[in-house]
Amino acid sequence: MSLSVQFLSLLAMIGTGVVGGALIDLIQTGTANAGKRSIIRRKAIWFETIGWIAVGCGSFYVLYLVRDGAWRMYDPVAQICGLLLYASVFHKPFRLVGRIVLLVVIKPIWFVLRLAVSIIRQIIRFVLRLSILLFTPFIRVYQALHRKLFKPKGN
């Protein structure tokens, strides 16, 4: 294996450490900002476990692409260096990008979805109220006839 391939694989493992740190930070931030009674907060340990498993699978996939899955002793050290690099350098820029994506992409989509659900709910309420208003006279006539025509035999 040439030196350039080893250097590329070292950079790839550092990159997986940075991406892994970002993913775990995303999961921890999401669970911390969820409501206190939210299912996300209650199942936070499962989300983080799934996140760590995804980081491990992704790291191995990158390792498989770069070196056909050959594992070296410096790979875990490179990933830890990537995690520390994320924590020291990339933490604030990733959070800034996350806030921008939240404000520009996710919140408008969430607003549109909530608006659509609210409009559909109001239309359904209107149709139900209108149908109740239209059928009320028929229901009263039916109840009056039902009481007169089908009296119990005991009376």
Q: Indicate the domain borders of the chain.
A: 3-149
Amino acid residing at 99? R
pTM, two decimal places: 0.68
pLDDT tops 60 at residue 155 = no
The predicted-structure confidence for 98-116, as pLDDT tens digits, reads as follows 889 989 999 999 999 999 9
Q: What are the two backbone dihedrals, phi and then psi, of residue 38, each rounded to the nearest 5 degrees?
A: -70, 145
CA angle 134, 137, 139 (to 5 degrees): 100
Contact residues for 6 (Cβ-Cβ < 8 A; gap 6+): 72
pLDDT surpassing 80 at residue 149: no
Q: In this structure, what is the dihedral angle of CA atoms 38, 27, 100, 36, given to the nearest 10 degrees?
A: 20
Question: Is the pLDDT reported for residue 128 higher than 90?
Answer: yes
